[in-house]
Amino acid sequence: MTCAACVANVESTIAAIPGVQEISVNLATESANIRSSHPIPIKTFTKAVAKMGYKLEPQGSSSLIHRQQRTIAAWKKLLLIQTLFGVPLLIYAMLEMFTELQLFSPTTSITIQLALASILVISGSGYYRRGFKHLLLRAPNMDTLVALGTGSAYLYSIISTTNIIMEWKIEGFQTLYFEAAGTILLFITFGKWLEAMARGKTTEALIGLMDQMPTEAEVFRANSWQILPLSKINTGERIRVKPHTKIPVDGIVIFGSSSVDEASISGESLPVEKQVGSKVMGASLNLQAILEIKAEKIGRDSMFGQIIKLVEDAQARKPEIQKLVDRIAAIFVPVVLSLAIISGTTWLLLGYGLTFALNVMISVMIIACPCALGLATPTALVVGSGIAARGGILIKSADAFQQLSQIQVMVFDKTGTLTESKPRIVATYPDNSSDFLGLAMGLEQHSQHPLAQPLLAYGVERSIPAVELSDIQEEPGLGMLGSLNGSTVRICKAKPDNSSNQDFTQALDQYSTKGYTVSAVYTDDTLLGLIAFSDTLKPEGRSVIDALSTQGIESILLTGDKREAAAQVAHTVGIKQVKAEVLPTDKHDHIRELQDHGKTVGMLGDGINDAPALVAADVGLSFRGGTDIAINAADIIFLNDSLQNVLFAHRIAKATISKIHQNLFWAFIYNLAGIPIAMGVLYPFTGTLLNPMFAGMAMAFSSVSVVSNTLMLRWQDHFRDV
């Protein structure tokens, strides 16, 4: 498929098959989702699509990627060729048209234009093959209009060339329009290249997710450990996972204990302790010690596999802006073709001769050729994207502009989004004693735990020396141990302890209520002190949430982190709706629930666990410092970590979409006004007939007006004043 009219043709063909209840064809993913009242053999769809000149293939992400890469390369090559020969043709033709400058003799000038235009037509032969093929199939698309419009201009110029050189003096064939054909082909090819680039972005998230999935596992078989592909692992088998490797399957720990980084699944920024009987999830990272697990869910059945499935399903959805283009294309192309034929035939029957009728038909085709229509969106996107990029924002597609401009709900992840994802010490108890901090530093200076560095930095900042300990060791699940003067010093995760005094218990309860992560320091069995850690909030969070609220945009916090920590963050930044301790599937489902209530939803996140929600949302946003998966899944990437980017991007999106609407308006106004004149409706009253030369000028002027209107975006320098 090459355009929106192709989508409309395929949809109408499949919709006509008995039993089909709903059909949605997606140009970006080159896929069709069909719902039917009863099972329909696949060959039925294959035959129906083949009759329309298309081929139905089994869906496969890797094959789609390769096809898209080849398509992008092909359009780029064609664009380079047409730029090389099209720009000189346009400049040369304009010099002769608007100045009295004659660089060569008339015969040489005509020969040069003929040669350049012929190269452009030959290099763009794909437009003619596709266009005329679909015309014969009675399913015209935009390629059909391009082929007929540029072909008419080229053929008219060939006839004029012969008429001028041979001095036949045929009335109405004294002007050349080679530059019209060349300009149209050049601009349409530029738009096709931009479209192919945008379509290629849609599969990056899916391929990135698949790369994160482990492909093999160490399994116990035939009394030995063997490394086998994941596809050959069965449920119930024993899997061994070494430190600093990814857990390949969902399962239950049957031997060992360790800390596991589940940030890719749950969004929890701190490692989770796992012991015998604990559940583990595939694609999470084992940090400390060997684990043996019993496999329960493998590959696509695992939690991470379900994330991939959700991303695939979300990418198959058709955006609203594409549906609008489909409807316009389905009407525009056949209407223009019909008007050209009707007008030419009418004048011929009225006795005005073949030359007069042919002039009318060519004028209609040239003035209606979708050059301005093709420029309306890509030029606005180029300028809008450039403004955003200068401000540190990358916007991937037209859909992102469209959806962000209409956003009603903004959903935020917590860790790394509203917070800096950098733990720091926020409280100690007792706060008038630093002795236990020195002991904790003495242990943690030998640890790789994520909380070790914040503790050591805290001590250095307050000039607290680390106490030197002996026999230091790290026991997974129990913390760090060491010896001092015959006593055992230990730091571990704080837990309620009935043997502790009431003051310690109250302090721990207070910290837990606020969602802090709390470590406890012991000498033998005596509790010496508590250390509370928390993530650092971004300072601009409150002002951004307030600004969104002022614009009528509701903010929601959706996180896999603990309920208490989420509530504390939400209260601080002013978010009223909070959902905590949610898995990636829960995030995805909540986004869907909001959409089912008619809301246009944005999602800002930076983790692998956010990927399903990012692609399910109407527009996904992420930071450059986030995971590759989140970056690929998102529609908008912020190159710095400031939340102010949300407001900046929203302003640019609204301004850009406004320009697109204005451009489309002007493009259609020229057609609505120009086509009747080209058809000759004024001729009986005024004797005025729009010949192809003026039709070409009108077409060129419509393109200039669209581009000029778009460039006015650059004058709006207030975007960054947030």
Measured distance CA(503)–CA(497) in Å, rounded:
12
The better pLDDT of the pair 198, 570 is held by 570
Average pLDDT over residues 335-354: 86
The better pLDDT of the pair 565, 162 is held by 162
**pLDDT score recorded for residue 3:** 62
pLDDT of 498 > 80? The answer is: no
Query: Do the Cβ atoms of 409 and 426 come closer than 8 Å?
Result: no
CB atoms under 10 Å from CB of 715, counted, come to 7
pLDDT of 416 > 60? The answer is: yes
The most confident of 98-107, 194-203, 206-215, 421-430, by mean pLDDT: 421-430
Confidence of residue 32 (pLDDT cuts 50, 70, 90): confident
Catalytic position from the list 261, 326, 413, 561: 413
Q: Do domains 215-306 and 393-419+538-639 have the same CATH topology?
A: no
Q: Which of 124-138, 156-170, 497-511, 554-568 has the lowest mean pLDDT?
A: 497-511
The per-residue pLDDT for range 127-137, each reduced to its tens digit, is 898 888 888 88
Rounded to a whole number of angstroms, the distance between the first and last alpha carbons of the chain is 42
pLDDT of 293 > 80? The answer is: yes
Q: Which of 70-74, 88-92, 431-435, 668-672 has the lowest mean pLDDT?
A: 668-672
The per-residue pLDDT for range 360-388, each reduced to its tens digit, is 887 787 676 555 665 676 667 767 777 77
Measured distance CA(487)–CA(577) in Å, rounded:
49
Q: Please tell us whether the domain made up of 424-534 is placed in CATH 3.40.1110.10.
A: yes
User: By three-state DSSP, how is residue 71 classified?
Assistant: helix
Domain boundaries defined on the chain? 4-50, 60-201, 215-306, 317-391+658-722, 393-419+538-639, 424-534
- Cβ neighbors of 713 (< 8 A, separation 6 or more) are 380, 383, 384, 387, 655, 656, 659
- Cβ neighbors of 381 (< 8 A, separation 6 or more) are 194, 398, 401, 656, 660
Backbone dihedral region of 299: left (phi > 0), alpha (psi from -120 to 50 degrees) or beta? left
- Cβ neighbors of 272 (< 8 A, separation 6 or more) are 259, 260, 261, 262, 266
Measured distance CA(639)–CA(650) in Å, rounded:
16
Tokens 């508590």, located at residue: 530
Query: Do the Cβ atoms of 244 and 287 come closer than 8 Å?
Result: yes
Measured distance CA(73)–CA(371) in Å, rounded:
23
Fold designation for 4-50: Alpha-Beta Plaits (3.30.70)
Measured CA to CA in angstroms, residue 223 lies from 220, 237, 263, 611 at distances of 7, 12, 34, 40
CB atoms under 10 Å from CB of 94, counted, come to 13
Confidence of residue 482 (pLDDT cuts 50, 70, 90): very high
The per-residue pLDDT for range 616-673, each reduced to its tens digit, is 899 999 887 666 677 778 888 887 788 998 999 999 889 888 888 888 787 777 777 7
Average pLDDT over residues 44-59: 84
Measured distance CA(360)–CA(690) in Å, rounded:
8
How far from chain centre, in Å, is Cα 395?
Answer: 8
Average pLDDT over residues 331-341: 81
Query: Do the Cβ atoms of 172 and 359 come closer than 8 Å?
Result: yes
Confidence of residue 322 (pLDDT cuts 50, 70, 90): very low
Q: Radius of gyration over alpha carbons of the chain, in Å?
A: 33
**pLDDT score recorded for residue 374:** 58
Amino acid identity for residue 568 in this structure: Q
Measured distance CA(379)–CA(709) in Å, rounded:
10
Average pLDDT over residues 246-267: 83
Measured distance CA(133)–CA(143) in Å, rounded:
10
Q: Token pair for residue 156?
A: 């008219």
- Residues forming beta bridges with residue 482, ordered by sequence position: 489
pLDDT of 722 > 50? The answer is: no
Q: What is the percent of the chain with per-residue pLDDT over 70, rounded to a whole number?
A: 82
User: By three-state DSSP, how is residue 438 classified?
Assistant: helix
Confidence of residue 517 (pLDDT cuts 50, 70, 90): confident
**pLDDT score recorded for residue 673:** 79
Q: Token pair for residue 153?
A: 């201009």
pLDDT of 211 > 70? The answer is: no
pLDDT of 604 > 90? The answer is: yes
**pLDDT score recorded for residue 599:** 94
Q: Give CA torsion, residues 17, 23, 24, 26, to 10 deg.
A: -30
Measured distance CA(547)–CA(699) in Å, rounded:
43
CB atoms under 10 Å from CB of 718, counted, come to 9
Architecture of domain 215-306: Distorted Sandwich (2.70)
How would DSSP label each residue in 446-503? T---TTHHHHHHHHHHTTPPPPP-EEEEEETTTEEEEEETTEEEEEEE----TTS-HH
**pLDDT score recorded for residue 319:** 45
The per-residue pLDDT for range 437-460, each reduced to its tens digit, is 999 999 998 887 778 888 999 998
Counting Cβ atoms within 10 Å, is residue 431 exposed (0-12), middle (13-18) or buried (19+)?
A: exposed
Measured distance CA(177)–CA(187) in Å, rounded:
16
The better pLDDT of the pair 5, 557 is held by 557
CATH entry, 393-419+538-639, from 3.40.50.1100, 3.40.50.1000, 3.40.50.300, 3.30.2350.10: 3.40.50.1000
CB atoms under 10 Å from CB of 242, counted, come to 10
* 313 part of the active site: no
Q: Which of 74-83, 114-123, 142-151, 282-291 has the lowest mean pLDDT?
A: 142-151
**pLDDT score recorded for residue 183:** 76
The better pLDDT of the pair 149, 558 is held by 558
The most confident of 330-334, 407-411, 638-642, 716-720, by mean pLDDT: 407-411
**pLDDT score recorded for residue 84:** 93
